């Protein structure tokens, strides 16, 4: 009843790693407000944008959706802050795109098609440029890579305005003039420009003016939001949490087996600890840190 790509999509949705995305940071660490994005809602927005573009360009929607839903399965708790910590601590480095592929191949054994695996592995973009080197092998994978940028520059800006880190008037004038003044206008402009320009050229593309505005908005977010003191202060604390957890669990194998179980069997202990940490939600990482490092009240029965 289902195509191979539909089965891939369904296996991803039913995976434990997918369910954990709902409690992983997008930008704002464990927000108390109900309307801030998490890694799960980011994934759903990427999927929606990618499917819209794929349908307009007569591409395979099932393949596009499967790549989009699986692209961030390997993301760490605390967003890119967690990725930086593990990249520093692992001898071979750590990239969340490679970890996403490791999740579907090794940790959950989903047996996905090569096209979906390729799209997951190659979705990441240096400096946010979706047309940089090492493109996915399929147009559907390239659409997801582009949709990822469209989604996060828009929803991260929306969340930053909600958090009052920036105001709408501070958005660079060229971005507002080219892309629009509101969240919906910006997404509408980007998607339409991708579809129209791609149909005109016969290849996935976007007008230089819109691409420059997208990348300028990405640079603006990096400077004013991702590196802002309120965000950085919280993420630096989160980095310390992950680093201390990594060091403790690596130096204490018995403690690692007690909290992680017996499912991590890589011959390199660092890899097992990294897999365990990368799979954690924000709240689980904080709860484990409290359990391992903070004193607890003395019970009357000793």
Q: Rg of the Cα trace of the chain?
A: 20
Contact partners, residue 278, CB within 8 Å, separation at least 6: 74, 75, 76, 77, 82, 86, 94, 96, 99
What is the pTM assigned to this prediction? 0.95
Nearest to 291 by CA among 241, 238, 234: 241
What phi-psi label fits residue 89: left (phi over 0), alpha (psi between -120 and 50 degrees) or beta? alpha
**Is the distance from CB of 214 to CB of 190 less than 8 angstroms?**
yes
pLDDT digits (tens, 9 = 90+) for 209-254: 999 999 999 999 999 999 999 999 999 999 999 999 999 999 999 9
pLDDT digits (tens, 9 = 90+) for 179-196: 999 999 999 999 999 999
Which pLDDT does position 29 carry in this prediction?
81
CATH number of 4-232: 1.10.3210.10
């Amino acid at each position: 009843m289902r195509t191979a790509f539909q089965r891939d999509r369904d296996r991803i949705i039913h995976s434990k790693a997918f369910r954990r995305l709902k409690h992983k940071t997008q930008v704002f660490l464990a927000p108390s407000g109900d309307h801030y994005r998490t890694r799960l809602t980011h994934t759903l927005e990427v999927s929606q944008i990618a499917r819209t573009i794929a349908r307009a360009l007569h591409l395979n929607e099932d393949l596009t959706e499967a790549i989009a839903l699986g692209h961030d399965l390997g993301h760490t708790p605390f967003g890119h802050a967690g990725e930086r910590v593990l990249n520093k601590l692992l001898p071979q480095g750590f990239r969340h795109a490679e970890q996403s592929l490791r999740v579907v191949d090794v940790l959950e054994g989903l047996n996905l098609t090569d096209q979906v695996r390729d799209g997951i592995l190659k979705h990441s973009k240096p400096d946010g440029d979706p047309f940089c080197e090492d493109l996915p092998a399929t147009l559907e994978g390239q659409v997801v890579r582009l949709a990822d940028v469209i989604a996060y520059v828009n929803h991260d800006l929306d969340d930053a305005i909600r958090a009052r880190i920036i105001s709408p008037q501070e958005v660079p004038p060229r971005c507002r003039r080219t892309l629009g003044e509101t969240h919906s206008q910006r997404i509408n402009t980007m998607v339409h420009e991708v579809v129209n320009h791609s149909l005109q050229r016969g290849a996935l593309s976007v007008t230089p003016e819109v691409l420059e505005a997208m990348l300028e908005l990405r640079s603006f977010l990096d400077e004013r939001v991702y590196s802002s003191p309120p965000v950085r202060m919280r993420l630096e604390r989160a980095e310390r949490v992950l680093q201390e957890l990594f060091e403790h669990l690596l130096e204490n194998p018995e403690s690692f087996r007690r909290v992680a179980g017996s499912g991590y069997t890589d011959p390199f202990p660092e890899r097992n600890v990294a897999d365990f940490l990368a799979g954690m939600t924000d709240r689980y990482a904080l709860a484990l840190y409290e359990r391992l490092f903070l004193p607890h009240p003395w019970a009357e029965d000793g």
